[in-house]
Structures are given as structure tokens and as C-alpha cells.
Amino acid sequence: MLLMSTLTQDHDAIPGNAGLSYKQHPPEGEWDAIAIGSGIGALAAAALLAERAGKRVLVLERHYTAGGFTHVFHRPGYEWDVGVHYIGQMGAGSPIRALFDEITEGRLKWNAMPEVYDRIRIADRSYDFVSGAERFTQRMQEYFPQEGAAIRRYVAQVRDAAGAGSLFFAEKAIPAALARVAGPLMRRRFLSYARRTTAETLAGLTANRELIAVLTGQWGDYGLPPGQSSFGMHAVIAEHYLEGAFYPVGGASRIAASIAPAIERAGGRILVGAEVEQILLDARSRATGVRMADGRELHAPLILSDAGAWNTYARLLPPNAPGRAQALAEIERIPVSMAHLSLYVGLRRDPGEPEFGDTNLWIYPSADHDANLARYAADPEQPFPGMFISFPSAKDPDFARRHPGRATIEVVTLAPYGWFERWADTRWKRRGEDYDALKQRLAERLRAELERHVPAVRGKIDHCELSTPLSTRQFANYHQGQIYGPAATPERFRARALSPRTPIPNLYLTGADAAVLGVAGALSGGALAASAVLRRNVMAGR
Ligand SMILES: Cc1cc2nc3c(=O)[nH]c(=O)nc-3n(C[C@H](O)[C@H](O)[C@H](O)COP(=O)(O)OP(=O)(O)OC[C@H]3O[C@@H](n4cnc5c(N)ncnc54)[C@H](O)[C@@H]3O)c2cc1C
């Protein structure tokens, strides 16, 4: 059965999901802060402000469920993650792990993926990404024996660039006056990497095109091929997974559900179905509250926006807000990242039958990632420029308890928003026959690719459902259905507006756009926002 509906259904309370209905539980009383959106960036900032400073934070989420891209959706017998496939740096001793442990108060458990967490397939050739920098280096040297020195220099540069990122991102949380003085020095080292493309940097290390294609085989994790992406972005992601990957036990919905108690204990609340229409400013242009889509006004002396930088400056702030035009111009100079398609697959699995897979698969038609993408963007009938196949049920030791006899797979690829734009103003589930036909065609192609690369699924597929860029637009409020907000080009890292600091007193950005994309990136955005508000580095511990 091929169901062609989009991501989610509008129902109120889903077991295990955080958040109460805004309609049924209208907010009353006083709030120390209001967070717009409930992605990991908002939840992390809210929990840190609650735990470190006792602040009552009202989290307002327009979707029917909390978590932003960490939310899950359900169909009878199944559940799928929308934006969480694997997360790095969750091993003991990692600062990201410590931060997660703090805001979830240790409730969230992490399951390590197998030692080979990513497998890169280029045409008929296959390369494994093994966890651990040493083992990774060794494995790459086994594949490319002539390239040992280049591989070692590559790993060293990835580590150096990602290490320099700490100071670069910390600069975003220090007071503006201090940033004017110390900022250039704090940013310099990371920018020396980030201003070059990934392709330029790798070309300086090796001329072996196959090796370059393998080392950049995770480019889908940041949505831009090597010729366009910043090496700073590449390094942050490559380093993120270098020691291996993890998955939240109980699925991605456990993330929001595990953070909610810390927010609620301080008197805060998470409300869903709560769309913010505008940020309210007083006569002195300070943020003082929000106006909801239903006209209600809510007030707080501190506003955190997790709705994305573009939404915040273009849609939520009044046009005459000071500094808005300049920040927006800077954000709009950066292209938005490409949109994506996700095929959500549900399978029947007999008792004792092995999993359909566990290692993530990255499938590429050839070693030239940039050319593959350009060809496909110009003609949708060309091969997918990269496909990511993930086996979420196999990563979650608790899945079989919740959904016995079932398994899930997700197949993700990119797709230009322009292919779908003409249906942007149609209604969900009523977009028309031509739209349904395009979806059907894309879903069938993705399904065929899945059956080709994972033959064990043949005859086992019970449910298949495609999300398009219009789903991302509708349910996650990314205006061009983009997968990651601003594209990870070199220019993205020069933009000063992508920071928790804003020109509006009492307004802070949080989430991926305040730091960098990815769950850990958006979490760091939350920590930076909390640090900027509290004027102390929350990452340094209590
Ligand atoms: C397909 C896909 C796969 C991914 N896989 C991974 C992965 O495996 N590992 C990884 O680390 N990262 C992954 N990511 C990226 C990661 O999920 C995101 O970068 C991160 O979760 C973003 O968090 P955020 O807090 O910045 O924003 P979001 O999660 O986007 O949350 C923002 C929230 O704000 C809400 N909002 C917007 N406007 C309003 C408004 N006006 N009023 C109220 N609410 C509003 C939105 O509805 C949304 O819930 C993936 C992303 C996608 C799309």
C-alpha cells in the first residue's frame, strides 16, 4: 500500500509527546521568558534558564507536537523520526553529552550504533566509516594505501577546524561590546577554515577524486556538496561523528519528553498548536512579548526565537524594528539550503527475523557529488544525487516493545523547492492530481532504490509514505521547505546575524541558526542563548 499523504495528522495528545494544547490550556500568569518554537534549541535554552536561574519559560509551538525536527509522527503500528537519524559526541566525557544529561536530568538514554555507523556506496564501490579517529584513519588507509599522509592530514585538519569552532561559537554569546573588541581574534582561526569550500581544502590534500568523494560522503548531513559547502561546516560534522554515532533510546520523541520536566518544574510550560504571529516591541524598541495568531498578546521581559533567523527577522519582527533590515539583508545574501524528500517505510518483521540493516547507507551514482547534484537539480529524472537510508527501528532497543513485529526505514534525498512551489498555496491533502502524480513517481523511484540496495525488504513493505518540501514548509515552518535553514556556504559563517545576539534588546535567537545545524548544533545554539541571557558560560558547568 502506498499512502500518499504528507507528514502528520492533526491530533492533540500523543502518548509520550511533550506539550499541552494551547487551545485547551490557554496560558495565564506571569512568565520570565517566552520561547517561540519548541525545537531542541528552544527546549535546551528553556531548560537551562529554568535549571540555572529558576526562570519560568513559556514555550509556544505552532505544530501539534513539541520538539521541532526531533518530533516523531505515528501511523497505526509505526512511528518515524522526522529529523533525527544519528547523533555524535554522545560518549562519556563529551560536553554535548553532559549538556544533554543536564537538561534531561539523565532521563534520556543513548544507544551506540554499530562500529560501522555509515557506509558510503559510490556506484558499485563500498566504504565503511568506522567509529574512532584512529580506526577511521586506518580503514581509509586500507582503502587508499597510497594516500596515508593525505588521510592523516585530513583528520588533523578536521579536528583542528572543529576545535577552533569552540571559540568561534563562544564569541556569539559574549556581550556585544566585548565581541567588538575580542570577536575578531575569537573568530579568526575557525574562519580561516570556514571561508574555503570543502572541495578547495581537500584538493590541497589529495588529487584522488575517489578519496575526496568518500571523505565527503556525509555531505547530505549538511546539505551541500563539496564545491559549495564551507570546510568549517564539513569539519564540524565530520568531527561530530568521528568517535561514532548514537540514537536516543525510545526514539526521537524522548528528547522533548525528557527535557520537559526541567522546564515545568520551574513553573514553565510547553504549549502546542500555539502559533506566534509577531514579536511585540515597546516604545523603546525592546521586545516585551508576542502576539499569537489568534490575536492574544502574551508578555515577558525576555523572548527567545527558535523559529529560524529568516522567520524571526522577515516575519515576526515589525518592519520598523531597529537593525532588522540590515540583519535580514545579511541573511538573505546566504542561499537557503535545499529541500528534501523523505520516504517513511513500515515493514512487517517475523519474530526472530534479523533487522533489515543497522548501518546508515549513503548511496551515490558517481564520485562527483557536485555534478550529480547539478544534473538532478536540472532534471528530476536523473539519478538521485545522494540517498540516505536509515534503519531507525534497528537503532532503538525499545522499538520492538512499542511496535512488536514491525520495523521502520527512512530514505532521504534532496529536492529543489522549485519543483513543488507551484502547489505552495494549495491545501494539505488537496494539492491536486498533478502534485499527487509527482509524489507518486518520486516515492516509487525511492522505493525501487531501497529494494535494490536493501533486497531483504522485498515483500515486507507494509506502509510507504512520502514527505515533500511542502510538508517541511507546512509542519516545520521553513518557508522554502529547506532542510537546514541557511545553506552551509562559506558566507554563512561570516554572517553576524546568525547569533543569539540581536539588535533588539531582550530578544535572542536560539537553535541551529544561532550556532550551526544538527541536533547538537541547535542544542549548542540553546546553550549559547542561555549563556548570552545569563551572562555566563553555561557550558562551563554550574
Ligand atoms: C530530514 C532531516 C534529517 C536530519 N537528520 C539529522 C540527524 O540525523 N542528526 C542531527 O544531528 N541532525 C539532523 N537533522 C537536523 C536537525 O534535526 C536540526 O538541525 C535541528 O533539530 C534544528 O533544531 P532547531 O531548534 O534549530 O529548530 P527546529 O527543530 O526546526 O524547531 C523550530 C520550531 O519552531 C516552530 N515554529 C516556527 N515558527 C513558529 C511560530 N511562528 N510560532 C510558533 N512556533 C514556530 C516550528 O514549528 C519548529 O517546531 C535533520 C534534519 C532533517 C530535516
Q: How far is CA 372 from CA 120, 121, 449, 450, in A?
A: 15, 14, 16, 19
What is the atom index within ligand 1 of the atom nearest the CA of 514? 26
How close is the Cα of 57 to the center of ligand 1, in Å?
A: 19
Residue pLDDT, tens place only, 411-445? 999 999 999 999 999 888 888 899 999 999 999 99
Whole-number Å distance, alpha carbon 338 to ligand 1 midpoint, is 14
Strands 303-305 and 297-299: unpaired
The chain-wide mean pLDDT, for the chain, equals 95
CA dist 306 and 68 (Å) reads 9
Give the Cβ contact number of residue 434 at 10 Å: 10
65 within ligand 1 shell (Cβ under 6 A): no
Q: Atom 6, ligand 1: which residue's CA is nearest?
A: 84
Q: Ligand 1 center to residue 209 CA distance, Å?
A: 33
Instruction: Answer whether residue 6 shows pLDDT above 50.
Output: no
- Kindly state if the Cβ of 246 falls inside 6 Å of ligand 1: no
Ligand 1: does its nearest atom lie under 6 Å from the Cβ of 412? yes
> How many percent of the chain have pLDDT more than 90?
92
**How far, in Å, is the centroid of ligand 1 from the Cα of 336?**
14
Residue 529 CA to residue 536 CA, distance in Å, equals 10
Centroid of chain to Cα 85: 10
Is there an atom of ligand 1 within 6 Å of 276 CB? yes
For the stretch 505-516, pLDDT in tens is 999 999 999 999
Q: pLDDT, tens digit, for every residue of 145-200?
A: 999 999 999 999 999 999 999 999 999 999 999 999 999 999 999 999 999 999 99
Give the pLDDT confidence score for residue 324 in this predicted structure: 98
pLDDT tens per residue, range 348-357: 998 788 899 9
24-73 tens-digit pLDDT: 999 998 999 999 999 999 999 999 999 999 999 999 999 999 999 999 99
pLDDT band at 369 (very low <50, low <70, confident <90, very high): very high
- Per-residue pLDDT averaged across 202-223, rounded? 98
* β-sheet with 276-281: strand ranges across: 276-281, 287-292, 297-299
**Using a 6 Å cutoff on CB, does residue 61 contact ligand 1?**
yes
Of the two residues 1 and 344, the one the predictor is more confident about is 344
Distances in Å between the Cα of 225 and the Cα atoms of 19, 233, 342, 386 are 37, 11, 19, 10
Question: pLDDT confidence of 247, banded at 50, 70, 90?
Answer: very high
Of 61, 13, 10, which is closest to residue 36 (Cα–Cα)?
61
Q: Is the CB of 162 under 6 A from ligand 1?
A: no
The span from the CA of 248 to the CA of 83, in Å, is: 13
Q: Of all protein residues, whose CA lies closest to atom 41 belonging to ligand 1?
A: 276
Which residues are within 8 A (CB) of 319 and not within 5 positions of it... i.e. 6 or more apart? none
- Cell numbers for 269: 510550560
Closest CA to 289 of 318, 324, 268: 318
Number of helices followed by number of strands (H, E) in the chain: 18, 22
The distance from CA 399 to its chain's CA centroid, rounded to whole angstroms, is: 22
Q: Does any ligand 1 atom lie closer than 6 A to the CB of residue 477?
A: yes
* Tens digit of each residue's pLDDT (9 = 90 or more) over 519-532: 999 999 999 999 99
Strands (E), 378-506: 387-390, 406-415, 461-467
Distance of CA 303 to the CA centre of its chain: 22
- Residue ranges of alpha helices (H) inside 223-351 are 231-242, 253-265, 309-310, 324-332
- 411 Cβ inside 6 Å of ligand 1: no
CA of 124 to the centre of ligand 1 (A): 34
**CB of 271 shorter than 6 A to ligand 1:** no
pLDDT at res. 9? 34
Task: Among 338, 389, 492, 519, say which to mutate for ligand 1: greatest number of ligand atoms within 8 Å of CB.
Answer: 519
Q: How many angstroms separate the alpha carbon of residue 324 from the centre of ligand 1?
A: 23
Task: Give the residue, by CA position, lying nearest to ligand 1 atom 49.
Answer: 68
The answer, yes or no, to whether any atom of ligand 1 lies below 6 A from the CB of 483, is yes
pLDDT confidence of residue 18: 81
Q: Distance between CA 25 and CA 32 in Å, rounded?
A: 19
Lowest mean pLDDT among 230-244, 350-364, 404-418: 350-364
Residue (of 335, 405, 357, 347) closest to 117 by Cα position: 357
pLDDT digits (tens, 9 = 90+) for 485-505: 999 999 999 999 999 999 999
User: Terminus-to-terminus CA distance in the chain, angstroms?
Assistant: 53
pLDDT digits (tens, 9 = 90+) for 70-127: 999 999 999 999 999 999 999 999 999 999 999 999 999 999 999 999 999 999 999 9
Name the residue with cell 527475523. Answer: 353
Please give the Cα distance from 209 to 219 (Å, whole number): 15
Nearest residue CA, atom 17 of ligand 1? 83
Asked if the model's pLDDT at residue 17 lies above 80, the reply is: no
Nearest CA to ligand 1 atom 3: 83
Whether residue 16 has pLDDT greater than 70: no
Mean pLDDT, to the nearest integer, of 254-262? 97
**Cα–ligand 1 centroid distance for 56 (angstroms):** 23
CA of 519 to the centre of ligand 1 (A): 8
**Ligand 1 lined by 311 (C-beta under 6 Å):** yes
If one residue of 10, 40, 69, 236 were mutated to test the ligand 1 pocket, choosing by the most ligand atoms within 8 A of its CB, it would be: 69
Atom of ligand 1 nearest to the CA of 519: 11
Q: How far is CA 122 from CA 83, 126, 251, 323, in A?
A: 24, 6, 30, 47
pTM score, whole prediction:
0.96
